[in-house]
Amino acid sequence: MSCPTAGGGSGLSIDEEETAETRIRRLISEHPLIIFSRSSCCMCHVMKKLLVTIGVHPTVIELDDHEFASLPRPPSHDTLISSRNLSPAVFIGGTCVGGLESLVALHLSGHLVPKLVEVGVLWLETMGNEGNGGPLPIIEQSEPLIFVAV
């Protein structure tokens, strides 16, 4: 397991006694938004770009090929799904969302932003003239953002 490319905190320490599965489960429980990737995976860049554009900065952990077999699978996927199909794999609030295709589908359906708000990694505020200096109410996302590669 490589050092993370984003995020921080003491939860990223590596205990030589921990198995890959135990380490992965610990990291998932400690980070509300985490991506597991391979260093050679270009789709991780696309996934990070989508999330950063929305306004969140995920913790990113690069795994070795043999460690991907230890990743929990999304509940909706067949147990025969290959670990290659889950690279990169994103977990939101401890639940495996899946790979890039699943994350984009969640975003296009309008469910990604509310899920990120729910787990506490994204705060949305209205632009108004409240003037009281207090927190502003959360706004609903009416239309998903569309990203076009240029």
Q: Where are the domains of the chain?
A: 10-100
DSSP of 104-143: HHHHHTT-HHHHHHHTTS----------S-SPPPPPP--S
Q: How many residues does the chain have?
A: 150
Distances in Å between the Cα of 101 and the Cα atoms of 25, 108, 111, 135 are 23, 10, 14, 34
DSSP of 55-107: T---EEEE--GGGGGGSPPPTTS-TT--GGGGSSEEEETTEEEESHHHHHHHH
pTM above 0.75? no
Q: Which class in CATH covers the domain with range 10-100?
A: alpha beta
Q: What is the pLDDT along the chain (150 residues), one digit of tens a residue?
A: 544 444 444 455 566 788 888 999 999 999 999 999 987 788 888 999 999 999 999 999 998 877 877 788 776 554 434 445 567 899 999 999 999 999 999 999 999 999 999 999 998 775 554 545 554 444 444 455 554 443
Please state, in angstroms and rounded to a whole number, the distance separating the CA atoms of residues 68 and 21: 9
Distances in Å between the Cα of 131 and the Cα atoms of 5, 123, 124, 134, 140 are 39, 19, 17, 8, 21
What is residue 10's DSSP assignment? G
Please state, in angstroms and rounded to a whole number, the distance separating the CA atoms of residues 28 and 26: 5
